[in-house]
C-alpha cells in the first residue's frame, strides 16, 4: 500500500537542529519510501492521500518511560516522597486483584491520552499482579495491538525484600511485619530469566510492533545475578533493559551506606553498565557517574513531572547531554506525574535546566527537548536506525499537528512553539508503522467512548482495592517514614 502525506512542513534534522521544510512524504507499507518536494497528486496514484496542509509533520514521539499499571489510582496522591508513595500504589501484602480483562480495559484506556497527544511509541515498565501471570501480560500486549500503538512492555522485577532496599528500614521494621513479608516466595533467578526469555521468544518477531523487554527494578532492589542475566538477554536479543537508578536522595545515600560508593559506580564494578541499559531518572548522579554512563554508552530517561511531584529533584540533563549520554523523555507513572501527555514533559525538560546554572551558555532548551522525545527515545528502544527521524527507509511513525491555531500563530519558531505552546490539542493525524491510528483528532483503531464506559465500570469495581492498600500501608508507614528521615539526616538534606 502506498500513502502520500501531502502539503506539510516536514521535520528535518540539520546537524544538531530541527528545521521544517515544505515536503511530501511517500509511504510504502510501513516505511518511508521517499521524501520529495511537493508533488501534484494524480488520481489513483496513491491508495490514500493524507493532507498535511497548514500543519507540521514530526517524527513520532516516544514516551521512553511509563508505568501503566497505576491507571486506577491516577490523581490519588500528593505530597509523598517515592519511598512512602510506593506503599499506596497497590495493596502491599495482597497485591492488586485484577482479572486479565480488567488489565486489557485499563491499558486500552491509557492509549486514548497517548495517541491523541501524538505519542507513537512507549516503553511500558509494568508491575504485573500476579508478577508471573502470562495471561495478564498477554492482555497488555493485546490492548496495544488493538490500539496500534508501538510498545515495548516489560515485567517489572525486584527479587529482594523491600525492607532490604532502603537503609535503616531492616533495623526499624517490626519483626512480625518482617516475618509476614518473608512469607512471600521469591523465585530463583534462573526461573525468572527463563520466564522473561519465553515472553521475548513469543512476542519479538521480525518487524514486531509490540515487543517484550526487560526490567530489573533497580540496583538496590535486584540481585547481581538477576541483573547480569538481564544484561545477557538484552545483548542477545538487542532489546532495552529498564532500571531505576539514583532517582531520589535516599537512593543516593543507599549506594554509600550499602556499598561504599555511588550506585552507578557499584554497577560499573559489577559489569552492569552497557549500551542497552536505560538508567531511569538519574537525578542524583555526580560527575563521575556521568563519566561512567557515557563511557559505557548507557541511555538515561528524564521524567521531570514525576521527579517534581515526588520531590525527587531535577536531573542534570544538560550535563548528561554534554557528556554524550543519550537522554530520552518519559512521563512515568500515572499516579505520580499524573499524565501521559508527553508535551508536558517536553516543556518541563526545556525549562528546568535553565534554573540549574546562571550561565545561560550551558542551558538546554526546545531543540534538545524535541530531540530527546524523538531520536533519543528511539535510541532508548534500541531502534535508532528505525525510528526517531523522518528519513527514507525508516518506519513510518509520524504525527501531524495543525498550526492554524492559537498555539502556533504567529508562525515564529515551530520548534519553540511545539515545546513551549503545544499541549496536544493540535494533533490532527498520527501514523504508526504506516497505519493511520488518529485521524482528524479521532482514534481510528477502537471506539473511545466504549472504552471510557468500560473503564468507568472497572474502576468502580477497583475502588475498594485502594482502601485495602491504605489499610495494609498503615502498620508500615511509620517505619518507612523513620527510615526516610534518618537517611535525610545522614545525607545532611535536613
> For the ranges 37-46, 252-261, 476-485, which has the lowest average pLDDT?
37-46
Q: What is the mean pLDDT of residues 385-391?
A: 98
Q: What's the predicted TM-score (pTM) here?
A: 0.97
Average confidence score pLDDT of the chain: 96
Extended beta strands in 387-432, E state: 398-402, 427-432
Whether residue 185 has pLDDT greater than 90: no
Cell of 82: 517515592
pLDDT band for 352, please (50, 70, 90 cuts).
very high
Rounded to whole angstroms, the Cα distance separating 142 from 427 reads 25
Query: What pLDDT shows up at residue 184?
Result: 82
Residue with C-alpha cell 542551558?
363
In the prediction, which pLDDT does 42 show?
86
* Cell numbers given for 213: 523487554
Chain position carrying cell 493525524:
429
DSSP 463: H
Count of beta carbons in the 10 Å neighbourhood of residue 361:
5
Measure the CA–CA gap between 464 and 469, rounded to whole angstroms. Answer: 9
What pLDDT sits at residue 211? Answer: 98
Cα 205 to Cα 243: distance, rounded to the nearest angstrom: 24
Cβ burial, residue 346 (10 Å; 0-12/13-18/19+): buried
pLDDT tens column, 55-95:
999 999 999 999 999 999 999 999 999 999 999 999 999 99
Residue 457 in this model has a pLDDT that exceeds 90: yes
Burial 77-110 (b: 16+ CB within 10 A, else e): beebbbbbbbbbbbbbbebbebeeebbbbbbbbb
Residue 191 is predicted with a pLDDT of: 97
Q: What is the percentage of the chain residues whose pLDDT exceeds 90?
A: 95
How confident is the model at residue 254, as a pLDDT?
97
Alpha-carbon distance 106 to 459, whole Å? 8
Beta bridge partners of 8: 23
> Rounded mean pLDDT of 368-389?
98
State whether residue 255 is helix, strand or coil: helix
**pLDDT > 70: percent of the chain:** 100
43 pLDDT more than 90? no
C-alpha gyration radius of the chain: 22
pLDDT digit string, tens, across residues 268-314? 999 999 999 999 999 999 999 999 999 999 999 999 999 999 999 99
Question: What is residue 456's predicted lDDT score, i.e. its pLDDT?
Answer: 97
Q: How far apart are CA 239 and CA 249, in angstroms?
A: 29
Amino acid at each position: 500500500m502506498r500513502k502520500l502525506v501531502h502539503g506539510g512542513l516536514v521535520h528535518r534534522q540539520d546537524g544538531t537542529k530541527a528545521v521544517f521544510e515544505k515536503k511530501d512524504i511517500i509511504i510504502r507499507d510501513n516505511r518511508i519510501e521517499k521524501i520529495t518536494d511537493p508533488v501534484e497528486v494524480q488520481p489513483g496514484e496513491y491508495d490514500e492521500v493524507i493532507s498535511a496542509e497548514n500543519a507540521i509533520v514530526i517524527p513520532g514521539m516516544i514516551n521512553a518511560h511509563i508505568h501503566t499499571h497505576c491507571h486506577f489510582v491516577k490523581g490519588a496522591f500528593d505530597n509523598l516522597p517515592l519511598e512512602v508513595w510506593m506503599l499506596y500504589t497497590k495493596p502491599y501484602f495482597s497485591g492488586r486483584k485484577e482479572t486479565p480483562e480488567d488489565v486489557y480495559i485499563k491499558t486500552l484506556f491509557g492509549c486514548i491520552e497517548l495517541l491523541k497527544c501524538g505519542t507513537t511509541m512507549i516503553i511500558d515498565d509494568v508491575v504485573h499482579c500476579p508478577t508471573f501471570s502470562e495471561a495478564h501480560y498477554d492482555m497488555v500486549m493485546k490492548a496495544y495491538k488493538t490500539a496500534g500503538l508501538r510498545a515495548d512492555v516489560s515485567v517489572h522485577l525486584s527479587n529482594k525484600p523491600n525492607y532490604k532496599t532502603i537503609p535503616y528500614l531492616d533495623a526499624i521494621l517490626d519483626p512480625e511485619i518482617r516475618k509476614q513479608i518473608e512469607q512471600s516466595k521469591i523465585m530463583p533467578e534462573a526461573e525468572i530469566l527463563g520466564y522473561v526469555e519465553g515472553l521475548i521468544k513469543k512476542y519479538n518477531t521480525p518487524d514486531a510492533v509490540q515487543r517484550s523487554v526487560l526490567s530489573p527494578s533497580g540496583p538496590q532492589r535486584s540481585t547481581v545475578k538477576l541483573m547480569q542475566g538481564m544484561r545477557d538477554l538484552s545483548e542477545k536479543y538487542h532489546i532495552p533493559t529498564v532500571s531505576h537508578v539514583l532517582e531520589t536522595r535516599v537512593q543516593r545515600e543507599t549506594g554509600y551506606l550499602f556499598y561504599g560508593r555511588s550506585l552507578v559506580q557499584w554497577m560499573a564494578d559489577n559489569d552492569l553498565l552497557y549500551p542497552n541499559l536505560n538508567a531511569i531518572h538519574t537525578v542524583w548522579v555526580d560527575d563521575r557517574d556521568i563519566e561512567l554512563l557515557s563511557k559505557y554508552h548507557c541511555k538515561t530517561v528524564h521524567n521531570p513531572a514525576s521527579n517534581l511531584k515526588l520531590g525527587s529533584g531535577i536531573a542534570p540533563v544538560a550535563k548528561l547531554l554534554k557528556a554524550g549520554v543519550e537522554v530520552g523523555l518519559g512521563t512515568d507513572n500515572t499516579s505520580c506525574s499524573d499524565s501521559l501527555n508527553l508535551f508536558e514533559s517536553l516543556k518541563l525538560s526545556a525549562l528546568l535546566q535553565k534554573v540549574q546554572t546562571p550561565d545561560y551558555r550551558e542551558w538546554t532548551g526546545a531543540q534538545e527537548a524535541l530531540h530527546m522525545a524523538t531520536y533519543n527515545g528511539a535510541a532508548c528502544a534500541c531502534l535508532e536506525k528505525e525510528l526517531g527521524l523522518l528519513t527514507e527507509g525508516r518506519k513510518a511513525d509520524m504525527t501531524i499537528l495543525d498550526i492554524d491555531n492559537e498555539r502556533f500563530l504567529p508562525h515564529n519558531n515551530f520548534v519553540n512553539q511545539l515545546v513551549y505552546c503545544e499541549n496536544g490539542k493540535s494533533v490532527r493525524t498520527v501514523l504508526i508503522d504506516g497505519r493511520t491510528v488518529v485521524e482528524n483528532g479521532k482514534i481510528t483503531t477502537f471506539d473511545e467512548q466504549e472504552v471510557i464506559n468500560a473503564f468507568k465500570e472497572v474502576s468502580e469495581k477497583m475502588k475498594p482495592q485502594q482502601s485495602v492498600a491504605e489499610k495494609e500501608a498503615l502498620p508500615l508507614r511509620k517505619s518507612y517514614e523513620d527510615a526516610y528521615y534518618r537517611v535525610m539526616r545522614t545525607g545532611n538534606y535536613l
